Structure formats: structure tokens, C-alpha cells
Structure 1
Amino acid sequence: MKSISLIQFLIEEKRAGHINSELSLLIEVVARACKRISVAVAKGALGGVLGNAGTDNIQGEAQKKLDVISNEILLEANAWGGHLAACASEEMDDPQPIPDAYPKGHHLLLFDPLDGSSNIDVNVSVGTIFSVLRCPDDIDEVLAEHFLQKGTEQVAAGYVVYGPSTLLVLTFGHGVHEFTLDREHGSFVLSRRGMTIPAQTSEFAVNMANQRHWEAPMQRYIGELQAGSTGPRGRDFNMRWVASMVADVHRIVTRGGVFIYPLDARIREQGGKLRLMYEANPMAFIVEQAGGAATTGRERIMGLQPTGLHQRVPVFLGSKDEIDVVTRYHLESDDSRA
């Protein structure tokens, strides 16, 4: 089979009318930045990039050195190409405008520069997640409010896995495609076209250490999975948990499963654990395009109207049949209390 580079794929997407030149350039720049992040991750201790940076991000979480490095790489790469109006990062309080010295484009970029960074020091797969929105027309200054668009407004989303191989998974709303970094040639090459998530699965990913804090419908659902073939579901389920969203979701996009980070008593006031704009929306876009489903346990993630740049939500995503079941349990529980 003839190999197709990312650049060739983007040209094909332009010819098909799926994207314009500016969005194509944006994806090329993000991919190039992620190649630099991949090199930094691969060096590990030899590059002096392990350990804490001694700073906290906007969420009050301790930043790893690679969090800061990855954030700087993405900001620098996207500053001067003329394809962006502004960008926003999970690691920064406010959006980053494009410097006045450079031309400005018509897109907004949001990213989690290094998802799963708590795993860096133990050499477990980590990744980058990104989402692209259109910038509203006729505005002089891009503010946080201009990023607060529903997930359905995304024009592109993707993630990169820094693992045994470096993989880019991408959607423009016309299917999901995987590219593998060819390290010898320094380019991403199409390795899977039209990825699909099976509707049924027997795998789930969740942090069971939090079980005692979960709501009743979540307790019911996991209890049924744990009961296996002798329980109400009539079959055995396996748990897989990497604690790196990119790695867990990529497994699901590749072979099916469900990823769940539910609401629990400790995080109820903040709304959930994962960030809507940087994690939930782009992953929901990818999962839905692959034939899966993504909800908060009660409603479609991409239908939510964001209220803040760093808003958090519960996340249930993956194989459609299982997401339908656990979402129904939450809605039934709400109805019973009404």
C-alpha cells in the first residue's frame, strides 16, 4: 500500500472541500510542534526534563517540567504563521493572543499540552489533546468569551500519543484517521483511515479507587460490570486503567471500551474532574466521529454551552451501547428523585 503523508492527506482534504488552506496549515504546525514534544518526552532523564517545574497551573495543580516545555513549544510554533487569532491552554489562566507583529488568522486553538503528565517520571504513555474553533468575525480583540463555543462548533480535533510509537489521531468531522510518526523521515504517515469504535464492548476504564465517592447510578453500573457473567449483564468485563486520558481513549478508539471519569462527592462543587474545552470536547468529537458516544452521564458533552475557559465536567465516552446504558441509569435516578 502506498504510504500517504499527513501533508498529502491534508491536500486531499482541501481538494474534497473539507478544510481550507488556513486550517491545513494550522494542523501542519501543531503536528510539527508535537514532533518536538515527542523528542523531549523520549529523552526523559537524559534531557533533564523529568520532575516538577516548581510552579502551579490555573487549576492549582503542580506542573511538571514537561508540562511547561510542551506548552511553550505549542505557543511558539503557532505564534507567527498567520493561521490563528488566538490560542488557549489548560496551563494558562487566559487566552494567548497572536503578537501584533504577525498576521492573524480565523481560527482559535485550545490544547492540553501534555495530558497524563503525572505518568512522565515512570515512562508511561502521555499525550497532547487539541481542539480548533472558528474565531467570530469582526472582533478587534479575542477574549476568553470568544472561545466559549459548544463542542458541535469544533472544526477539527485531535490527540497525539507519545508511546512506543508517536501517533496522531485527527478528525475534521468526516471520520477519524490515525497517523504514525516515521522517525527516519520525520513525517507523520497515514496508518489507519476511518477508525471505528465497536458499539459493544467488555472493557471499561475508570479509577476504582474513587468508587466510594460515586453517585448511586454509577455505583449501580460498575456493580453490574463487576458481577460479570453471573450478574444482570450476563457476561464478564475487564478493567483497563492507564491514568492517562490520551492512552485510555486511544485504546478505546482502537478496539472499543468505555472511559469514565464520573462526578463524585469530592469534586461536585467544581462540576467534575476533566476540562470541557481542553479534554472532554475534543475527545467527544473524535469518539462520536468514530461511531461512539460521549455524555456527562446525563447529556451529550458536545451540546453543552461552556460557561468558563477552564470549566470541568464528568466524562463518559466510548462504545455506544455501554454509554447509552450508564447514561440511562443516571437519568432514571434523577427521575426517581424528582
Structure 2
Amino acid sequence: MTPLALPGDTAIASPDLAAHLDARGADPALATLAIAIADAAAPLAARLALAGLPGDPARIVGSNDSGDRQKALDRAAHDHLLGALARADVRAVVSEEAEGAITLRPEGRFDVAIDPIDGSGSIGIGAPLGLLFCVFEAGGDFLRPGTEAIAAGYVSFGHSTDMGLSLGDGVDLYTLDPASGRFHLARERVRIPEGRPMIAHNASNIGHWPERLRDHVAARIASGANMRWIAAAVSDLHRILLQGGMFLYPADARRGYENGRLRLLYEAFPIAFLIEQAGGAATNGATRILALTPDALHAHCPLIFGDRELVAAIPSH
């Protein structure tokens, strides 16, 4: 089968991740960490693309600290990423798939919080999935405010595999070339498009929301806002960076949802870091996400993020 060529196609000419970070003058140790995650993401993307051909990636193998069912690929991705981070200057790692912090290098320079597979409820059905990570200078424990984060990123596994990365000087997007296994620069210093009335939320939860929030979202939709919901926060993050809008997963009245469902340290923190670097905002409905401090490694939080004006208009709750 011949490749599908389109008019005006040319060979990849954009720099790969390593070359781009070097040209930017990025801290070499921090660049090495980001490259390690990118290098690990390429075979993970290839494995996801095979679905159940080599075995069942959705097989239940246990549960994580939050009580979520842990699938075979959750565990495999966790182990795979730990191996990659062990080759970088990482002191300790907190992962959604492990109860406590894992020490890699006692004298390492960085601490990393990571969600190896975001949206893992959709493993094995071809739906978009993701990976999230947040980086801190090593020291103390992980129960520190998000303002201490120095870098964050994600990988979105869809029909393309895309990496968003910020080392604190804006957000750059890279796309994986499967032939070479390298991520190449796709968009530099991304800014969230403003004034795009799109809302990502799980509509089945609305009946449990605070009334003021429910009425606000209903009014937005009645006035023409479109609803989007991918059921993987990384995928909505990637879409919002490119197309605008906002994402809502607030706390609600159900038992177990009083503090939201997303994890603060390795989901909300990296998303908030990236969103702010792209000109947006991220809150828990009342307070800036990065101003929060987790009281436990797997603490939950409500999360609203996206276009700064859309987020600011959300009624406090």
C-alpha cells in the first residue's frame, strides 16, 4: 500500500523535541526528563494502537489507592514510565497506580507526579487516552502547593500522538512521527483561543451540581454554547489549547464526589500549570488550583479550566 499523500506535502522539517529544547536553552537536566517521558510515550502509543491483538489491555488486575479498578495496561504503563524516569535525574515519583511515593535516586534533582494512563476507563475501545506529569524541585514531600511546580506536560493518544510541554516559559506542542519514534515541534507558545463557547462536562452529573452552577451552564448552552465530552481530561485539555472553551468537573452532592473526582497532584496540577502558561485559568470553583496544597498524595479536587473569561464567569460554589 502506498502512503496517502496530500497536495503540498513535504518531508518533516520541524525540529524534534531534543533539538527544540536545546535551541530554547532549556535546563539540560529538565530537558532530559522531558525527553525520557517522550521516549517512553512512543512505544506506549504503539501498544495502545494494537488494542487487544497481543492480549487484553483492559483486564482487571487490582485497584488503585482511589478505589478505581486497575487495568493491565495501567500497571504496565506505570512500570514502563518508572523505568524511563529512572534514567533521568529524578529523586521520587508519585503515580496514580502506587499507594506511596517511590524513590528512584535519593540524590536526584526532581520529584515527579504522574498519571500513567488518563481516561483508563476507555482502555481497549479505541477512545482517546492520555498521560499527565508535573515536575517539582526535589525536597521535602509531595504535599506542597502547585505554585512550586516548575514544569508539566501531557501526552494525548488519539489518531495522532501529541505532547504538550511547558518548562515555565509557555506551552509547546509536539506530534509523534511513528516512523522515527520522535516527537517534532507542531506549534510553539500556544495560546488558548478566546471567545469560543464550548463546554466539556459530563451531562449525566448535572442533576447533582449546585443550582447556581447548573443554571449557569444551562444558560450558556441555551445561548449557543456547544458541549464536548471526551471522558479523558488530557484529550479535553489538548482540544481546549487548540480550539478554546472550558472543562468542568465540579464537586457535587453524591457521596464520594464532595471533593470532585480528579486528583490534585498528578491531574489538576499539571493541567492548571499548562493552562495558565497558555493564558487560561484553572480553579476548583472558588480558588486557583495552583494555590492549593494536597493533604494526601491521592487527594481529589474539583476542576474547572480553560478560557480565562469563561472560567471567571463561573459562579462560586
Q: Same fold per TM (> 0.5)?
A: yes
Matching residue's letter, 1:111: I
Equivalent residues in 2 for 1:83-98, closer than 5 Å: 83-98=89-104
Matched, 1:170 2:165: yes
Could you report, residue by residue, the CA deviation over 1:137-164 in whole angstroms, capped at 9, with x for unpaired residues?
xxxxxxxx61122111111100001111
**Equivalent in the alignment of 2:6:** none
**Equivalent in the alignment of 1:122:** 125
Equivalent residues in 2 for 1:199-210, closer than 5 Å: 199-210=194-205
For 1:280, which of 247, 250, 268 is the aligned residue? 268
Matched, 1:259 2:247: yes
**Equivalent in the alignment of 2:215:** 220
Q: Distance in 2 between matches of 1:129 and 1:113?
A: 7
Report the alpha carbon displacement of residue 330 of structure 1 after superposing the two structures with TM.
1.3
Equivalent residues in 2 for 1:17-36, closer than 5 Å: 19-36=26-43
Q: Which has the higher helix share?
A: 1
Aligned residues: 306
Q: Distance in 2 between matches of 1:296 and 1:116?
A: 20
Equivalent residues in 2 for 1:40-79, closer than 5 Å: 40-79=47-86
Matched, 1:3 2:6: no
% identity of equivalent residues: 36
Residue ranges of structure 2 left out of the alignment (5+ in a row): 1-11
Aligned-partner SS, 2:268? helix
Matched, 1:238 2:233: no
Q: Distance in 2 between matches of 1:87 and 1:166?
A: 24
Aligned-partner SS, 1:306? coil
Aligned-partner SS, 2:213? helix
1:263/1:271 contact within 8 Å kept: yes
Q: Distance in 1 between matches of 2:21 and 2:268?
A: 25
Aligned-partner SS, 1:220? helix
Aligned-partner SS, 1:45? coil
TM-score, normalised relative to structure 1: 0.87
Aligned-partner SS, 1:297? coil
Matching residue's letter, 1:152: T
Report the alpha carbon displacement of residue 267 of structure 1 after superposing the two structures with TM.
4.6
Matching residue's letter, 2:178: R
**Equivalent in the alignment of 2:7:** none
Report the alpha carbon displacement of residue 105 of structure 1 after superposing the two structures with TM.
1.7
**Equivalent in the alignment of 2:145:** 150
2:221/2:227 contact within 8 Å kept: no
**Equivalent in the alignment of 2:175:** 180
**Equivalent in the alignment of 1:330:** 316
Report the alpha carbon displacement of residue 269 of structure 1 after superposing the two structures with TM.
6.5
For 1:250, which of 238, 255, 271 is the aligned residue? 238
Aligned-partner SS, 1:47? coil
Q: Distance in 1 between matches of 2:267 and 2:36?
A: 20
1:52/1:62 contact within 8 Å kept: no
**Equivalent in the alignment of 1:190:** 185
1:178/1:192 contact within 8 Å kept: yes
TM-score, normalised relative to structure 2: 0.93
**Equivalent in the alignment of 1:336:** none
Could you report, residue by residue, the CA deviation over 1:118-154 in whole angstroms, capped at 9, with x for unpaired residues?
1122211101000000012xxxxxxxx6112211111
Aligned-partner SS, 1:37? helix
Aligned-partner SS, 1:330? coil
Aligned-partner SS, 1:39? helix
